[in-house]
Amino acid sequence: MKRPNYKWELILMLWFAFFLNQGDRQVYGAIVEDIQRALDLTGTEAGLVVTVFTVVYGCLAPFGGYVGDFLSRKWIVISSLIVFSLGTLLTGFAGAMGGFALVYLIIMRGIATGAGEAFYNPAAISLITQHHEKTRGTAISLHQSALYVGIVASAVIAPLISHNFGWQYAFIAFGLFGLIVALYCIFRMEDTPQIKQQTERIPFKELIVGIFSKKTIWLLAFAFGCQVFVNIGITTWAAKFFNLKFFAGENLPMASSIAMLTSCGFAIFGVMVGGRMSDKMAVRSKLARMRTEYIGLLGGAPFLLAVGFASNLWVACAAMALYGIFRGVYDSNIYAAMFDVIDPKLRASSVGILTAFAFIVGCLAPVYLGAVQGDGTNIEAFEWGISSMGLFFLVGGLLIAAAAKFTFLKERYEE
């Protein structure tokens, strides 16, 4: 018997799954300073763990969409949740590995968690679109809100657990919560039949040619990579930076909370403004979504520069909040702008491919910022590293502006 309110219960289940998908990822960045101290890791070694995660996630993201076309999406979502929750939970035992702690972190945090998370989103979005025809926009927006809430919640909760009980218990707590959510989903999530395909599967070669034959896509893809580079770098190291610069290394819970509440909290506002702004502008201009994209990156660049060299905490918070708003403006049209130059039959598959491309381009940010800070005591070098993130936003914005000026209108797909 069909449950009358199931489509909204599904959103609730997927919201918590996506909350954990993002929250588990942020636990490491929120307490990386404690992990370094406990396991005697250099900045480069600590950053390498996140780089491996990013590469694994990027390489497997296209396969997440592929298997979702013919395997049960319920079990893809649940299996993904179980794998990345187990990876998170087992990360908490790295301290018992002695000299093999770094290798263990790379396996559990980088490979297991990255692989598990890579398969979640395509299957989840497919389930949402199948159950919400007339309420699709609302349902997807609610689901997307879990991304920012998960990052902020993890940034607040993980350091508190680490401070009061030990860093390992932050991973164990989030991992156990994920397994509980997975158990609930096993019994409550319906095994929804696949949507019947109306067209033949497109050969991979044709797919790649159809996407990357467009100059606009290359420019947008590298700009996306610049944004991912900055995003991963900030979420991995901002908590430690704020703690060292403004709290003399003595208050990681407060530093982590402030860094993520300002950046991700204000990004929610930016997403809403960017989406609304581009929809209104699109009625009058074909370039509306492209303009929204480069406004987001170019507008955020100076505030990233300001974060590194902020004279006090209040200035840093204001700069971080404004960076968050402009990041949200950019995020609101990442795929919508790309879709304007991609054949509709290639769009679903293009999401996974372009996500993979961007994550592989951006994967070196954690190692870069880890190496810049040296032994963690050179705050001036750390300041330069954080501020240099603004250059990547600047480059990304200029790439999109160039595409809007020279290639977009020639390659735009007219539906």
More confident call, 155 vs 134: 155
CA 44 to chain centre: 21
410 burial type by CB count under 10 A (0-12 exposed, 13-18 middle, 19+ buried) = exposed
Q: At 86, list the tokens.
A: 């187990």
Is pLDDT above 90 for 129?
no
pLDDT tens digits, 131-154: 776 666 567 767 878 888 899 999
pLDDT of 91 reads 95
Is pLDDT above 90 for 7?
no
pLDDT tens digits, 339-388: 788 887 777 677 778 888 899 988 999 999 999 887 767 789 999 999 99
User: What structural domains does the chain harbor?
Assistant: 1-188 (1.20.1250.20), 202-415 (1.20.1250.20)
Question: Rounded distance, CA 276 to CA 150, Å?
Answer: 24
Extended beta strands in 16-130, E state = none
pLDDT band per the 50, 70, 90 thresholds, residue 211: confident
pLDDT tens digits, 308-329: 999 999 999 999 999 999 998 8
Question: Rounded distance, CA 393 to CA 309, Å?
Answer: 17
Mean pLDDT of 84-107: 94
CA nearest neighbour of 137 among 18, 272, 20? 272
pLDDT of 159 reads 95
- Best mean pLDDT range from 127-131, 145-149, 386-390, 409-413: 386-390
Question: Rounded distance, CA 132 to CA 169, Å?
Answer: 38
* b/e code 375-402 from CB counts within 10 Å (16+ = b): ebeeeeebbebbbbbbebbbbbbbbbbb
pLDDT band per the 50, 70, 90 thresholds, residue 2: low
More confident call, 32 vs 212: 32
The mean pLDDT value of the chain amounts to 88
pLDDT band per the 50, 70, 90 thresholds, residue 198: very low
Question: Rounded distance, CA 221 to CA 225, Å?
Answer: 6
Task: Note the pTM of the prediction, 2 decimals.
Answer: 0.86
Mean pLDDT of 39-56: 93
**CA angle, 74 then 75 then 78, to 5°:** 90
pLDDT of 402 reads 97
